[in-house]
Amino acid sequence: MTPPNATERVVPRHVAVIMDGNGRWAKQRNLPRIEGHREGANAARRTITKAAKAGVSFLTLYAFSVENWKRPAREVSALMSLLVETLKRYEKELAENDISLRAIGRLDDLPANVRKQLDRTIQRTAHHRRMTLILALSYGARIEILEATRALARRAASGQLNPDSIDEATFASALYTHDIPDPDLLIRTSGEMRVSNFLLWQISYAEIHVTSTLWPDFAETDFQRALADYATRERRFGRV
């Protein structure tokens, strides 16, 4: 975990996005829900491009939560197929823009074909340095925290770790994001005022920007507006 820094640059180093509103976007147009997700993939592409151009170093997109497995099997299957299709389509574009891909979450939950394509894209973009794109897949913050707790408990039980030595840095080192700086800015679309079990530990000091725009309609101007909002915030981290 990166310690808070009151002298951060105006452009956030790490932006995290809760991409919400695909289903409502489709419903408003009397379209199948998958069409909303397809348009959502286009919005993700725009956001990735804009973030890289703006100088953001890390962009985390909440793509699929552990709770999303409860959706109808047909929709989940369509989402997994769309993920594979999107990764294949934009793998070259990520490379051309010097963007590396990573993923966090319970990745073993993903179907084999999804995991295969995901691993391939991660491997093929690993050496790029302009920006790191992180997809949160089968992700849930409570599960992440539980898994980190269990990992530390096992180390303590085996005598490898003194429980009294566990501090915030030690705990953060056991999270999926152990080598990724905490988000500076959290963007939530569709106007919902909740964080939806997303990066609960990591967003402790994140600035939050909520927009009523549904995710498929989220444009480069919306992202720029979020950055401009962030630039007006005074980041005191408890200081006067």
Point out the residues that are catalytic: 20, 68
* 204 contacts: CB under 8 Å, gap ≥ 6: 182
**Which residues in 3-17 are b (16+ Cβ under 10 Å) and which e?**
eeeeeeeebbbbbbb
Q: How far apart are the two ends of the chain, measured CA to CA in Å?
A: 23
Asked whether 107 and 138 are in contact (CB, 8 A), the reply is: yes
Cα 19 from Cα 17, distance rounded (Å): 6
DSSP assigned state of 184: S
Query: Among candidates 175, 156, 172, which has minimal Cα distance to 164?
Result: 156
Asked whether 133 and 61 are in contact (CB, 8 A), the reply is: yes
Three-state secondary structure call for residue 135:
strand
* 119 contacts: CB under 8 Å, gap ≥ 6: none
**Dihedral angle sign, alpha carbons of residues 206, 207, 213, 218:** negative
